[in-house]
Copies of this chain bind each other. A is one copy, B any other.
Amino acid sequence: MSVLQEISQNVKSIKQLDYAVLARRANQIQKELSQGVRKPYKELIDLCWGDPHSMDVKPLTFVRQVLAACVYPELMSSHKLPLDVRQRAQWLLGRCDGGSVGSYLAPTGIPEIVQRMSESIRRRDGGVPCNPDNIFISPGSQWSLTVLVNNEAPLRTGILTPVPCHVTTIMSIKSLGAAVIPYFLSEEHGWALQVEELQRALESAKGGCNPVALYVINPGNPAGYVQSRKSIQEVIQFASEKRLFLLADEVYQDCVYGKNSEFVSYKRVLAEMGPPFSDTVEVASFHSVSKGFMGECGLRGGYVELVNLDPNVVKYIFNLICKDSTTPVLAHFAMDLMMNPPRPGDPSYPLYNQVRNAAKHQEHVVNSLPGFSCQPVEGGAFVLPRVFLPPRAIQKAKEEGMQPDTFYCMRLLEEMGVLVSPGCEYGQKEGTYHIRYNIKNKLHFITT
């Protein structure tokens, strides 16, 4: 019997993922295949993760050359590495204490790199100013929730959260003792975010909790929607009216495929709207080296830009980040490479540009198989088609104690050797079922 007899309900709210059960079975199948067990397929295809490198998308040569030279600076004396690679590595290492990626990072990052990041954000936003003091680097975004949640208040802190949404976000909110206020994206409208639905969700929360923040994901994940400028304006107006803090997950900003879609940042729209919005609505915009065209999930790093935050609150955020400061140096370097890539004329530019465009054009062809209905994908890395399951399958799933779409995923895994994740993991309207898979891959099972 453990001394920890009473585990807090918050910790207990963190559940095992349905995906974990599927992944465990996938591992077993992998083993069976390698032992020669006969199956209807020869290899297993994992389409679960937003992880391009695990699916044979090649890392960017420029990025890897610079990072390797930073790890082992002796490489710089070799002329095998292009000049711009060596120069960049030299510059980055010169910003580190002791010239080593093994030294600690100051909690707010390396000032010169953060300065360059702010210039890149300014270019992205058509000249809207970006103050480097408002940029904080971090290996994750959980601290932002810690700041928002107040467990001492008489009412629980509430956070408006999209459905579908990544399950770890839901668990993070719950494990801090806050309440998730779900708002549904409209599948019929290509998973659009509709303000009337925000309104409905907020009303439904009345009395049960104190809503302080609205979490938006644009471009969408797992639903590949890209918000228009007009849609963002409406959300900002709503946040302003209801006094909500905007948490803008914009990590797929470099992954927009839709012909008529364009990524516009919340911060840019806010600035363009002018006062009173532009100087009152509080926004935290998140980006990451894991996503986008770089796909360096294994490096673990990203940043947040804070807009219109009360300096009193920023002070606590600074302290929180000081306490947890764990951004790997190489991830910080990767932010510089992501936001300041090689330019035309640089030795690394031709190869970089070629690989970059190859990644960009891996668009998804909307499938038309029976039993599937898939919204067009405008951005992000995933597709979330609806699956129409026959009543017998739903019954069978119940008998086996599984969610119907988890049951479907398990069959797909067993019979076709394809690993995808079930929609129940991300939330969905009752009676609807979905599967989620990554679009940056060979799409074996849909196209063959």
Contacts and interface: CB of A to CB of B under 8 A. Distances in A.
Contacts of A105: 298
Contact of A12 (B4, B106, B139, B316): B316
A52 to B, nearest CB: 8
A8 B154 CA distance: 12
Interface in A80-136: 80, 96-98, 100-106
A18 B280 CA distance: 32
A65 B71 CA distance: 8
A2 interface: yes
A329 B14 CA distance: 24
Contacts of A6: 150, 152-153
Interface in A140-197: 140, 142, 146-153, 168, 171-172, 175, 177
Contacts of A171: 319, 323
B300 A300 contact: yes
A330 interface: yes
A298 B330 contact: yes
Interface string A322-344: 11101111110000000000000
Given A75-B75, A100-B54, A11 B282 contact: no
A331 B67 CA distance: 14
A224 interface: no
A64 B329 CA distance: 14
A21 interface: no
19 contacts: A2-B310, A6-B152, A7-B316, A11-B320, A16-B318, A49-B104, A56-B98, A57-B98, A59-B100, A64-B72, A67-B72, A68-B75, A101-B298, A104-B298, A139-B326, A298-B329, A299-B329, A328-B328, A330-B330
A446 interface: no
Q: For the side of the interface on A, what is the size category?
A: 35 or more
Contacts of A331: 328
Interface string A378-418: 00000000000000000000000000000000000000000
A319 B15 contact: yes
Given A67-B72, A104-B49, A298-B100, A147 B4 contact: yes
A315 B14 CA distance: 10
Given A8-B152, A11-B146, A320-B14, A296 B102 contact: yes
A245 B326 contact: no
A355 interface: no
Most buried by B among A11, A244, A322: A11
Interface string A304-322: 0000011011011011101
A438 to B, nearest CB: 12
A261 interface: no
Q: Which of A46, A171, A212, A324 has the most CB of B within 10 A?
A: A324
B298 A212 contact: no
B300 A139 contact: yes
A243 B2 CA distance: 9
Given A3-B212, A319-B16, A326 B72 contact: no
A149 B59 contact: no
Given A9-B152, A152-B8, A299-B328, A65 B72 contact: yes
A51 interface: yes
A279 to B, nearest CB: 12
A172 B324 CA distance: 9
Contacts of A55: 98
A310 B59 contact: no
A8 to B, nearest CB: 4
A292 interface: no
A268 B8 CA distance: 31
A420 to B, nearest CB: 16
